[in-house]
């Protein structure tokens, strides 16, 4: 267990609500009771004004930083950016991350027990939306006694939740960091989601979602993950990492694994089945496809009409072809139209969509500067630290159509 600049050992916590009165969902159905699994890092200040909510992507969970056991080899999924002196500095901030409803890592989802039947929900679990996920998170923030979050931050589906927070609860958020994300899924993105779902449906063990007492549809889920994982990379990163390298001395002229990239995808797909539920994959990808901030509005700007007091940092990456930069630029245009304070950076990277997780040095500098500015502007009293008097106030980030950093900012 590596402890340098780590939050150390952490414990998963649980919050259960909607026990007496089920929560209404966008679908018209209700859900209750609801349990959210979550973790916290750092110290909440006296007036509870230094809290940051981290929002995870499709395959993420509440375990964003630190280690859950002394013998853990891998820390939380965003450990590079959450901890002492990191982008989300736990010497300064109280950081929260929860697993979304519909998930499978402790929060209520299709693999949870339906209290009315005593069996897993399966497909009887109601379809949920990103807005439903955010409403549940709002109940968690109430439970923690926090009136207003200093910031909400996340990439990909996490970025969708960030945007939904600023639209649904603009008075409860001071700053927002939507990273490598979009205001709506394009037809191409919906198509990728559907192919992944079809892979699960085609697995004979899926049994229309009723597989919890038998063999799980791991083959279908693994293929779905392989498809999705390709979209997180870029052609350049795949060329640099794999090229046309072989797994054996020469072609086998059979259908075993010949190329390194084939073996990599199989490894990622099979590994995913050890920690994720096939039904949750269906529900979470459907929530992403349904997400559209402009739905019911005459424009995207109209959706942000009440969010102009939130301070935004929007980040995209040059090699991200899943959510290309034009998605972020559309967000920036809409936010600018309503007079929001928005900074935008289109970062040079070869890592593709996963760059928000991998460009650690660049993201640390960018996020740290932005949060220091937010702390200064809103006069947030941070928890006392030995060197608190030496904290340097960073200059305000100005909106920019594109900020390209050196190609070698973070490689390898």
Pick left, alpha or beta for residue 252 (phi over 0 → left; psi -120 to 50 → alpha; otherwise beta): alpha
Query: Which tokens sit at 412?
Result: 């390898």
Question: What is the CA 71 to chain-centroid distance, rounded?
Answer: 26
Q: Is the peptide bond before 265 cis (omega within 30 degrees of 0)?
A: no
- The catalytic residue positions are 156, 320, 353
DSSP label at residue 321: S
What residue has token string 């497909």?
A: 123
Cα dihedral 392, 394, 395, 400 in deg (nearest 10): 170
The three-class DSSP label of residue 255 is coil
What residue has token string 């939130």?
A: 310
Instruction: Please list, residue by residue across 321-349, b when 16 or more beta carbons sit within 10 angstroms of its beta carbon and e when fewer do.
Output: ebbbbebbbbbbebbbebebbbbbbbbbb
Distances (CA, A) of 162 to 112, 119, 159: 26, 33, 5
DSSP codes of every residue in 131-164: HHHHHHHHHHHHHTT-SSEEEEEEETHHHHHHHH
DSSP label at residue 278: H
């Amino acid at each position: 267990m590596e402890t340098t600049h780590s939050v150390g050992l952490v414990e998963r916590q649980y919050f259960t609500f909607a026990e007496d009165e089920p929560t209404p969902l966008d679908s018209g159905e209700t859900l209750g009771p609801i349990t959210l699994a979550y973790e916290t890092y750092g110290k909440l200040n006296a007036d509870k004004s230094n809290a940051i909510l981290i929002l995870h992507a499709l395959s993420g969970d509440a375990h964003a930083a630190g280690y859950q056991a002394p013998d853990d080899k891998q820390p939380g999924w965003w450990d590079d950016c959450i901890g002492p002196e990191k982008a989300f500095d736990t010497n300064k901030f109280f950081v929260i991350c929860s697993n979304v409803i519909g998930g499978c890592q402790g929060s209520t989802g299709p693999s949870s027990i339906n209290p009315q039947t005593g069996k897993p929900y399966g497909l009887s679990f109601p379809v949920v939306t990103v807005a439903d996920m955010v409403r549940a998170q709002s109940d968690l923030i109430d439970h923690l006694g926090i009136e207003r979050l200093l910031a909400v931050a996340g990439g990909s589906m996490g970025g969708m939740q960030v945007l939904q927070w600023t639209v649904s609860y603009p008075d409860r958020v001071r700053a927002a960091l939507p990273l490598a994300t979009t205001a709506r899924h394009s037809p191409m993105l919906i198509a990728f989601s559907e192919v992944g779902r079809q892979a699960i449906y085609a697995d004979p063990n899926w049994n229309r979602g009723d597989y919890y007492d038998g063999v799980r549809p791991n083959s279908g889920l693994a293929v779905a993950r392989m498809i999705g994982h390709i979209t997180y990379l870029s052609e350049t990163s795949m060329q640099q990492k794999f090229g046309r390298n072989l797994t054996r001395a020469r072609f086998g002229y059979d259908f075993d694994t010949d190329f390194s990239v084939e073996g990599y995808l199989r490894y990622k797909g099979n590994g995913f089945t050890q920690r994720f539920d096939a039904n949750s994959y269906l529900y979470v990808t459907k929530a992403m496809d349904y997400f559209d901030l402009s739905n019911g509005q005459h424009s995207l700007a109209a959706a942000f009409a009440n969010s102009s007091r939130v301070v935004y940092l929007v980040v995209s990456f040059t090699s991200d072809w899943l959510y290309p930069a034009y998605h972020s630029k559309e967000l920036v245009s809409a936010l600018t139209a309503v007079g929001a304070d928005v900074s935008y950076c289109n970062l040079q990277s070869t890592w593709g969509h996963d760059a928000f997780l991998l460009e650690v040095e660049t993201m640390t500098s960018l996020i740290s500067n932005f949060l220091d500015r937010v702390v200064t502007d809103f006069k947030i009293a941070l928890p006392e630290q030995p060197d608190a008097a030496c904290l340097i106030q960073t200059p305000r980030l100005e909106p920019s159509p594109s900020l390209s950093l050196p190609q070698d900012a973070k490689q390898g």
